[in-house]
């Protein structure tokens, strides 16, 4: 099982702060998880953004970071300031 957390605008758009996915061999990296979730359609398409930030087990990472059963993942939008 993989736990996925959502922050900021993603949490607001999805109406939830986390979800759980059954891990399988098709979920090799963070991007596979992102694509799988975005594929649900509707509000989940907010995760179609490729310019997002992510973390695996509380460590910032890139979308090509490998994932494994038991991981805690997080997706959050990039922050801009001015």
What is the C-alpha to C-alpha distance for residues 77 and 55, in angstroms, rounded to an integer?
Answer: 12
Measured in whole angstroms, how far is the alpha carbon of residue 35 from the centre of its chain?
9
pLDDT digits (tens, 9 = 90+) for 21-35: 999 999 999 999 999
Confidence (pTM): 0.92
What is the C-alpha to C-alpha distance for residues 21 and 30, in angstroms, rounded to an integer?
Answer: 12
pLDDT at 74: 98
Round the average pLDDT of the chain to a whole number and report it.
Answer: 94
pLDDT digits (tens, 9 = 90+) for 40-62: 999 999 999 878 999 999 999 99
CB contact at 8 A, 56 and 73: yes
For residue 80, pLDDT over 60 is answered with no
Structural fold of domain 2-77:
Ubiquitin-like (UB roll) (3.10.20)
Task: Please state the domain extents for the chain.
Answer: 2-77
């Amino acid at each position: 099982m993989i736990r996925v957390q959502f922050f900021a605008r993603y949490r607001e758009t999805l109406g939830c702060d986390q979800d759980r996915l059954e891990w399988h061999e098709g979920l090799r990296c963070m991007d596979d998880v992102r694509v799988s979730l975005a594929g649900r359609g509707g509000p989940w398409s907010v995760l179609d953004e490729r310019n997002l930030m992510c973390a695996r087990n509380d460590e910032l990472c890139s979308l090509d970071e490998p994932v494994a059963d038991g991981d805690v993942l997080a997706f959050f939008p990039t922050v801009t300031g001015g």
